[in-house]
Structure formats: C-alpha cells, structure tokens
Amino acid sequence: MKKKLKELAEWVEGTVVGDGEFEISGVASIEEACPGEITFIGNPKYLPKLGETRASAVIVSKEVTQSDKPLLCVANPYLAFAKILILFSEKPYHPKGIDSNAWISPTATLGKDLTIYPFAYVGDRCSIGDRVTLYPGVSIGEDSTIGENSILYSNVSIYPGTTIGKRVILHSGVVVGSDGFGYVKEGKRNVKIPQIGKVEIGDEVEIGANTTVDRATFGKTIIQKGVKIDNLVQVAHNVLIGEESILCAQVGISGSTKIGENVTLAGQVGVVDHTEIGDNVMVGAQAGVTHKLPANQGYVGSPAMPHREFLKVNAVFSRLPEMRKTLIEMEKRLKKMEEALSSKVKEK
C-alpha cells in the first residue's frame, strides 16, 4: 500500500511542507526508517535528528515550518504517527471459520464470520458476537458473553458468567473471573467466602498477557470502556476501574477499590483495599497507595504522597548521613558553649 503525503495529511488533519505528491510506503522509527517511509519527531529536542534519518518524510509539530525533507505538520505528532501507523498496518479481517478441533457447546449462540482455532472451548449458553477470534487454548465458561470483533489470544481463561464488551483484546494467559480472595478465620482455620459475583469488561478494553481479574464476592468487578491494562496486573474482587484509565505492568489493585477515569498507574504500583483514586490521577512506579487520593494530581512513594512533596523529602533522604554528622557536631559545639557560659557565671 502506498499513500501520497497529502492524503496522509488529510487523514490526520495536518498540513504538508514540501512535496505533497510524494508516495509513502510505510512507517518506522526515526532510526530504522528507510527511504519511502515516514517517521515522526514528537519531542522538539530531537529535531536535529531531522537531518540524520533516512525517512523520506517526517511528522512534526506545527511550529516546524521548514526543512530539506517533506514535513507533515500536526498539532500532536505522536497521535498522527499512531493514526498513520494504524492506516498502514491494519489488515482487513478475514474469518477463518470454526476449526473442527474446537469444542463449542450446542447451546452456545454464535455470531457471523467467526475465527475459532483448534482446542478453543466455548461452554454452555455462551454468546459469541460477530467476527470474534478465539485462539488455541481459549476456554470460555458457561453463560459468558463476548462482544463483536473481540480477540482472545491463546490460553485465555474466562470463568462462567463473564460479560466482555465489543472490540476487546485479551492477550495470552489472561484470566477473567477467578474467585476473589476472601477468607474468614475460624480459630486458625481459613473458611472460604464463596465468590458469587461476576466480572464485566467494557468495550475497547485491552488486557495484557497473564493479567488476572477476579470476580466479585457479590455484584460485579467492573472494568469500564477504553481501559488499557498491561501484563501481569492483579485486579481483585469488586474493583471498579473508570473509563480510559491505564494500568502499567505488575500493578496490584486490592479488593473493592475504585479507580477513577483517565487515571494512570505506573509499573508495580500497589493499591490497598476499599480505597479510592480520583479522576486524572497519575501514580508513579512502585508507589504504595494506602489511602484515598484526590483527583487531578500526581503521587509517588510508598506510602504515596503528592509528587512535589515527595521530591522535597527524597532530596533530603540521600543527605541523611550528612545531616546526622552535622547534628552530632553541632551538639558538641553547643555543649562547649554551654560550658563556656556556665564557667563565666562561676567566674563572676
């Protein structure tokens, strides 16, 4: 596939500087791009690389107005790059049908144009939407619903009664609907609390490899529309994750916690149970969230504190040995003066 630069400009609502008739054959990173391809410079500090790349055209921000190379100038170069990459890389969907080595319950309701690979399992009374793809080893428990155009990669496990929206992507090894972790002690013995709730996953959610989402004790664990979750994340029972939030790898959310909309949790963040994180909050890597975090702010540290405050504290942290030394030395000087003063008093 080839696209003229001016066609790409229309696609991403940008303007061309230079030859708009030039034909672009693909997209690549600034280091790897070959002649014929387009690349992008998101951060102005990399603009000097414009001269080095072998790409034939570059997506840049609107401030850039001239260059030896054809430019595609846009408000958000990274977004334009993503959209052009989608244009070049997305292949049309061709259904492969249902392999005879898959096991589909006769009571399941199946949409049109499915792709179901060998060794996929679809339980009783499931509903599978149009154009769904189930890779080998996917197991879908009874009474579950998978919305249209969703893709479940190999060895995904869905427990019974789960609802999954449209255009959802579940990567290999994802588990949805496993029992919440709830016990009560009878003496030393752990008595299991039955987990009779469910999981509901909204449209356009993407969940990374080997991530786990537990079913609710009662009611539902809910992951709302557009949420993106990375690999090896734990989402416990009765958690609610608001629309378009982002959870990076190895994050852990404890039971009954509510995450707002458009939140970003960086890698390895842990959040305690029964708390709340407000909308648009950003939490730094490895932070430990131990209490409610108000909206629209950044937090870091374990226990988590506002980013600004943490920077101050942390700056002092590495100076602790020096501070202790000063403290000990000052105490000596103080003592010396106290003695001097006291001897003067005696002199009188």
Buried b (16+ CB within 10 A) or exposed e, 31-70: eebeebbbbbbbeeeeeeebeebebbbbbbbeebeebebb
Nearer to a second copy, 21 or 338 (CB): 338
Single out the catalytic residue among 94, 237, 291, 307.
237
Q: Specify the stretch interacting with a second copy by CB under 8 A; choose among 15-23, 54-62, 291-299, 328-336.
A: 328-336
* Contacting residue, 29, 107, 109, 296, with a second copy by CB under 8 A: 29
| CA distance linking residue 59 with residue 44, whole number of Å | 12
Nearest to 9 by CA among 68, 63, 48, 18: 18
| Contact (Cβ atoms closer than 8 angstroms) between residue 138 and residue 120 | yes
Residues ≥6 apart with Cβ < 8 Å to 16? 5, 6, 9, 70, 71, 72, 73
CB closer to a second copy out of 19 and 209? 209
Least distance from a second copy to the Cβ atom of residue 69, Å: 19
Least distance (Å) between residue 330 CB and a second copy: 6
Annotated active-site residue 94? The verdict is no
Burial (Cβ within 10 Å: 0-12, 13-18, ≥19) of residue 11: middle
Asked if 46 is part of the footprint of a second copy (rule: CB under 8 A), the reply reads: no
3-state secondary structure of 271: strand
Residue 208 engages a second copy in binding (rule: CB under 8 A): yes
**Residue 311: CB atoms within 10 Å:** 12
Lay out the site mask for a second copy across 238-277 (x = CB under 8 A, - = otherwise).
-----xx-x-xxx-x-x------xx----xx-x-x-----
Restricting to residues 292-311, which ones interact with a second copy according to CB under 8 A? 302-303, 305, 309
Which of 34, 194, 292, 294: binder of a second copy (CB under 8 A)? 194
97-126 binders of a second copy (CB under 8 A): 99, 101, 103, 117-119, 121
Q: Does 230 bind a second copy (CB under 8 A)?
A: yes
Instruction: Pick between residue 89 and residue 109 the one whose CB is nearest to a second copy.
Output: 89
Range 6-25, binding a second copy (CB under 8 A): none
Q: Rule CB under 8 A: is residue 192 a binding residue for a second copy?
A: yes
Q: Is 1 in the site for a second copy (CB under 8 A)?
A: no
Q: How far apart are CA 269 and CA 246, in angstroms?
A: 12
Q: What is the per-residue burial (b if ≥16 Cβ within 10 Å, else e) of 246-266?
A: bbbbbbbbbbbbbbbbbbbbb
The identity of residue 214, as a single letter, is: D
- Only one residue has tokens 């769904």, namely 132
Indicate the residue among 70 and 77 with the shorter CB distance to a second copy: 77
Q: Residues 136-155 vs a second copy: string with x where CB under 8 A?
A: xx-x-x-----------xxx
Shortest separation between residue 21's beta carbon and a second copy, angstroms = 26
Please identify every residue annotated as catalytic.
Answer: 237
